[in-house]
């Protein structure tokens, strides 16, 4: 493996859901490694905080306030990245939401929102990234999926369905793009100590995974040599929360 293949310095990554949690931790990891970052989320205040943390590492950080479920806004986000950096090497599709309700009580409109954020926008972002990634020497797409991509849980029907969809889409996408040199990986963490898991009030949060743990897994994917692609990484807390 050459030195260039282990380095993220000078590359450009777009991170969705970059305002907090796993997205922020991943953006900061990328910046620490010398990667310029485009930060996308709906909250300008949170993105500005993430950008400030990233810029401390001497990289450029582009703030993009957008709704990933809006096709027009998402398309313009990719256009802005190209205008600013003239390249895109990495897509981290992290934006997500959850809903805790049994199938008897769940609101179908909320189900639609969960699928829109977790699956449809992820698929659309991946498709939009491809023309740009084809011009990169070391392109990669990393989906932040979940252990819910592989098993089912009660009272999380839409979340489980959407995350199963992400894993299936990622597998098919890899089959489509592998010969073009584009890495595609799904990182599937168990419970992570973020705002998304605030709904669980009967767990020991100190035993959960932390956003930085997921960022480390993403770093591993991006630093593998060009002839290797980890297509799926599952992370579990060592001890049951």
Task: Label residue 2 by pLDDT band (50, 70, 90).
Answer: very low
pLDDT per residue as tens digits for the range 199-211: 777 888 899 999 9
pTM of the model: 0.95
**Which position among 132, 159, 169, 210 bears the catalytic label?**
159
The Cα–Cα gap between 170 and 232 comes to 9
Task: Label residue 54 by pLDDT band (50, 70, 90).
Answer: very high
Residue 75 clears pLDDT 60, i.e. is over it: yes
Instruction: Say what the pLDDT of residue 230 is.
Output: 98
Q: Vertex 153, ends 148 and 157: CA angle to 5°?
A: 85
pLDDT per residue as tens digits for the range 5-40: 779 999 999 999 999 999 999 999 999 999 999 999
Q: In whole numbers, what is the pLDDT of the chain averaged over residues?
A: 95
Residue 132 bears catalytic tag: no
3 with 15: CB under 8 angstroms?
Answer: no
Residue 203 counted as domain residue: no
Residue 205 counted as domain residue: no
The sheet with strand 36-41 has its strands ordered as 61-65, 36-41, 12-16, 90-93, 140-144, 183-189, 232-235
The 3-state secondary structure of 180-194 reads HCCEEEEEEECCECC
Regarding beta strands 183-189 and 12-16, do their DSSP bridges make them parallel or antiparallel, or are they unpaired?
Answer: unpaired
pLDDT mean over 174-182: 98
Residue 240 counted as domain residue: no
pLDDT per residue as tens digits for the range 104-162: 999 999 999 999 999 999 999 999 999 999 999 999 999 999 999 999 999 999 999 99
Task: Label residue 1 by pLDDT band (50, 70, 90).
Answer: very low
Residue 101 clears pLDDT 70, i.e. is over it: yes
3-state secondary structure of 5: helix
Percent of all residues in the chain with a pLDDT value above 90, rounded to a whole number = 93
Total number of domains constituting the chain: 1
Residue 241 counted as domain residue: no
pLDDT mean over 181-190: 98
Instruction: Say what the pLDDT of residue 241 is.
Output: 92
The Cα–Cα gap between 116 and 123 comes to 10
Residue 204 counted as domain residue: no
pLDDT mean over 173-180: 98
CA 234 from chain centre, in angstroms, equals 14
Instruction: Say what the pLDDT of residue 200 is.
Output: 74
The Cα–Cα gap between 147 and 186 comes to 10
Q: Which residue has the higher pLDDT, 200 or 227?
A: 227
Helices in the chain by DSSP H: which ranges? 3-6, 21-32, 44-55, 71-85, 108-115, 121-133, 157-177, 211-223
Instruction: Say what the pLDDT of residue 62 is.
Output: 98
Residue 221 clears pLDDT 50, i.e. is over it: yes
pLDDT mean over 178-196: 94
- What's 70's DSSP letter? -
pLDDT mean over 92-97: 97
Residue 12 counted as domain residue: yes
Residue 202 counted as domain residue: no
Full domain range(s) for residue 154 = 3-195+212-235
> What CATH number corresponds to the domain at position 90?
3.40.50.720
The Cα–Cα gap between 234 and 241 comes to 17
Taken in order 122, 172, 197, 46, is the CA torsion positive or negative?
A: negative
Residue 207 counted as domain residue: no
């Amino acid at each position: 493996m050459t030195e260039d293949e282990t380095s993220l310095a000078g590359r450009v990554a777009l991170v969705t859901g970059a305002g907090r949690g796993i997205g922020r931790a991943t953006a900061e990891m990328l910046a620490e490694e010398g990667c310029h970052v485009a930060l996308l989320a709906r909250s300008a205040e949170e993105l500005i905080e993430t950008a400030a943390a990233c810029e401390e590492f001497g990289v450029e950080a582009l703030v993009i306030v957008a709704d990933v479920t809006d096709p027009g806004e998402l398309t313009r986000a990719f256009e802005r990245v190209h205008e600013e950096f003239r390249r895109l090497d990495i897509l981290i599709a992290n934006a997500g939401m959850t809903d805790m309700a049994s199938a008897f009580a769940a609101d179908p409109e909320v189900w639609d929102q969960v699928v829109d954020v977790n699956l449809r926008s992820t698929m659309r972002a991946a498709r939009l990234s491809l023309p740009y990634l084809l011009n990169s020497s070391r392109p990669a797409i990393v989906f932040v999926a979940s252990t819910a991509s592989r098993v089912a849980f009660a009272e999380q029907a839409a979340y489980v369905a959407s995350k199963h969809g992400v894993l299936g889409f990622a597998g098919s996408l890899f089959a489509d793009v592998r010969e073009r040199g584009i890495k595609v990986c799904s990182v599937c963490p168990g419970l992570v100590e973020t705002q998304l898991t605030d709904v669980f009030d009967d767990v020991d949060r100190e035993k959960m995974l932390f956003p930085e743990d997921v960022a480390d897994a993403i770093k591993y994917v991006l630093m593998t040599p060009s002839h290797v692609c980890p297509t799926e990484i599952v992370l579990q807390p060592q001890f049951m929360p």
